[in-house]
Homo-oligomer: A and B are copies of this chain.
Amino acid sequence: MKRTIVITFALFSALIVYAGRVQHPCLLLTKDGVASIKEAKGQVPLFDNSLQQLLNSADLALERAICLPVPEHGGGGYSHETHKLNYFDMANLGIAWQICGRKEYANKVKEMLMAYADMYPQLGYHPLGLSNTPGRIFWQTLNESVWLLHVSQAYDCIYDTLSSSERRHLEKNLFRPYADFIMNGTEDNCANYHRFNSLNNHATWANSAVGMIAIVMGDEKLLNKALYGSDGSGDVGFIKQLDVLFSPDGYFTEGAYYQRYAIWPFMMFAQCLHHNRPELGIFEYRDGILLKAVDTLLQMAYEGEFMHFNDAIEKGYRAQELVSAVDIAFLANPSNKQLLWVANRFQHEVVVSDAGFAVAKAIAAGEEEPLQLRSCLLRDGANGDEGAFTIFRSPRADQNSAVTFKATSHGMSHGHFDRLNFCYYDAGNEVVTDYGSARFLNIVAKYNGHYTHENESYAKQTIAHNTIVADGRSHFDGSMALASKSHPKITACSLGGSLQMVGAVEDKAYDDISMERYLFYADVPFLEYPIILDLLRATSDKPHQYDLPLHYNGHMIELSVPYCKFVDNMKAMGSSSGYQHLWLEAEADAAQGTTSYTWLTAYRMYSVSTTTSAQDKIFLARTGAGDPDFNLRSEPVYIIRSNSKPGAHLFASCLETHGKYDLMVEQSANLDRSCKGIEVLKNEPELIEVRYLFKGERAILLTLQLNEKNPQYYLRYE
């Protein structure tokens, strides 16, 4: 109800505010902003540097001959990259004109826009035909939106330099048909209409691009379509995206890597709305969901790099999307001085905009405050009831570690089959790892930079993660459709302090198996670093083979049982579900009781100890099999295989961080693990009790009472 009221108010006030009163520029850069920037020239170092870089780019663009190739290639190809360069050039030139007042900049934008206005009406669909929402300049409409989002800014910047007939010409031949195409597609293909009026990341781009050009043209009707969908109902459109694409905690279901991409149009268009429809209160909308999304994204990082899960490759605070988002978030809420820390310590640049200027000015005034990374439970789903992504941060200020636990919904097409997966980061390194995605973005020699086949056949499969694989099959048998139907359930969570914990249940990944995992992160008085205690239980009324992989970064130091490593011939571990991509390096019989494994990552040792029976097997494997094109990185994994009887099978583990190993100064200490054994005392439906024994006659007794409503846990140090 409340939402409807806001919309009505917005529609009403828009009528008042809009009637021909738009001052240019008015998007990311405003007239007042430009005046302040000019006044402060030479006094705000970070801004001056960023401006200088922009001017360098604009000067290069000035020199370049205008070139609008006939649309022909896909991403990375000539026509694609040239049109991409063109929109960056136009945006840079427009901004340069605003700040410096050199008429050449504005003229160049005008010439380029006129050239596009000549070309655009002639274009049919892009010839590549690879997308179900094909574009005209680009192979997919998504890129058309990105183009328009940038070019709107360029047009806005030079708006006042154009005669009204020039504007009419551009709007009639370029911007209106361009926006119309994004919004409606063509008579014989209405895919764009459906995309524009849907609720996902591509639609956000489309809404934002159309909305931004609408603001520049002063077209309130068009703007309202961007905000509330083609039919104005508000069931789709930008505002609705804010309701459904983020969880109440600001988590985007595809994970950090794609949240980084999605945040860009969200924040840019929101900034424009803030400037032009302040009465919308866009940054306060849904309890400040956009600012929450930026904060959540910043939290999902370790050492400034986004945590790896789902389809992720290396990306972090330095990404252009984050530079933009952090700047805009600060302008929207200047009391959040931690954003300045991110800009100053990681990004080293700002956007040449009102927001970027505000950030740089505040940094120059010494306002930055250290970024506080905190333990958090990031609920998934529009209503926050579809599982969660949990992060434990190290309890002591002198440490730098993070444990992640993934019990979210699948994450759409970029999701992995990794229910109840965990990872561990420590001392600046990824220690217990997630492969992320198998892709060499932008490298033509590697499957044209696309996701490689091994992304499906390995990176998404369960064995590529740190969670249970039953009977050699991935969760949901690798079916995204199935996986998307359900989600795990968080059953307990306690964050912060010297004992943190999270628990979740997943009972749909396999037909007849219920999986539960309880992770504890405890600062134990007699151990050097906090320990991870891990209870992973699979319950079924049938017997199963359970594999528990642990992917790590580092070098194998010790396995507590004798093993046999293959020396002159090595085979792949299996033929499907990702096992075909693992070389079996060594195998062993597990110990009756506890089996321990130690590896070295940089300057520290890590030891995992797990309850095993003498019938269990240990495998040491390495990625790279079944990979004819060298698409996989070569990374090690430690696997425990148990053949369980019907009933509840419990893997009780602890992961210790210990020791110092610094070859540079030849210092080493505490290189041996502390854990001497793990005993499961109780493994009942509503009670788990485990004793972890440590050297020096110390022990931890972990008791977990699993009452349906209110699980209780106790840790006793003995």
Chain B residues lying within 8 Å of A444, measured Cβ to Cβ, are 671-672
Chain B residues lying within 8 Å of A629, measured Cβ to Cβ, are 565
Give the contacts of A493-536 with B (CB-CB under 8 A): none
Taking a contact as CB atoms under 8 Å apart, the answer to whether B318 and A664 are in contact is yes
Closest to A620 in B: B630
Taking a contact as CB atoms under 8 Å apart, the answer to whether B666 and A442 are in contact is yes
Contact with B along A620-656 (1 / 0, CB 8 A): 1010111111100110100000000000000000000
Does A319 make an interface contact (CB < 8 A)? yes
Chain B: minimal CB distance from A579 (Å): 11
Taking a contact as CB atoms under 8 Å apart, the answer to whether A557 and B446 are in contact is yes
Task: Please name the 3 residue pairs, one residue from A and one from B, whose CB atoms are nearest each other, closest first.
Answer: A445-B558, A556-B630, A314-B663
Taking a contact as CB atoms under 8 Å apart, the answer to whether A664 and B626 are in contact is no
Taking a contact as CB atoms under 8 Å apart, the answer to whether A572 and B572 are in contact is no
Does A315 make an interface contact (CB < 8 A)? yes
Copies of this chain, tallied across the complex: 2
Taking a contact as CB atoms under 8 Å apart, the answer to whether A319 and B568 are in contact is no
Chain B residues lying within 8 Å of A600, measured Cβ to Cβ, are 440, 443
Chain B residues lying within 8 Å of A585, measured Cβ to Cβ, are 624, 630
In the bound assembly, the distance between CA atoms of A316 and B662 in angstroms comes to 11
Does A3 make an interface contact (CB < 8 A)? no
- Given the contacts A558-B445, A598-B445, A630-B586, A625 and B567 also touching, CB distance less than 8 Å: yes
**18 A-B contact pairs sorted by A residue (CB < 8 Å):** A315-B663, A315-B664, A318-B664, A320-B665, A440-B557, A441-B666, A442-B671, A443-B661, A445-B672, A556-B630, A565-B628, A565-B630, A568-B572, A568-B580, A569-B569, A585-B624, A622-B624, A634-B634
Closest to A305 in B: B664
Chain B residues lying within 8 Å of A625, measured Cβ to Cβ, are 567-568, 570
Query: How large, as a class, is the contact surface on chain A?
Result: 35 or more
Does A583 make an interface contact (CB < 8 A)? yes
Does A699 make an interface contact (CB < 8 A)? no
In the bound assembly, the distance between CA atoms of A406 and B650 in angstroms comes to 56
Q: Tell me which of B442, B575, B622 contacts A634 (CB under 8 A).
A: B622
Contact with B along A296-331 (1 / 0, CB 8 A): 000000000100000001111011100000000000
Does A695 make an interface contact (CB < 8 A)? no
Does A555 make an interface contact (CB < 8 A)? yes
Give the contacts of A565-606 with B (CB-CB under 8 A): 565, 567-572, 575, 580, 583, 585-586, 598, 600
Chain B residues lying within 8 Å of A668, measured Cβ to Cβ, are 442-443
In the bound assembly, the distance between CA atoms of A629 and B563 in angstroms comes to 9
Chain B residues lying within 8 Å of A580, measured Cβ to Cβ, are 567-568
Chain B residues lying within 8 Å of A620, measured Cβ to Cβ, are 630
Taking a contact as CB atoms under 8 Å apart, the answer to whether B565 and A572 are in contact is no
Chain B: minimal CB distance from A700 (Å): 24
- Given the contacts A443-B557, A622-B634, A668-B442, A313 and B569 also touching, CB distance less than 8 Å: no
Chain B residues lying within 8 Å of A567, measured Cβ to Cβ, are 572, 580, 625-628
6 additional contacts (CB under 8 A) given A585-B630, A634-B636: A315-B663, A320-B665, A442-B666, A564-B628, A565-B630, A567-B628
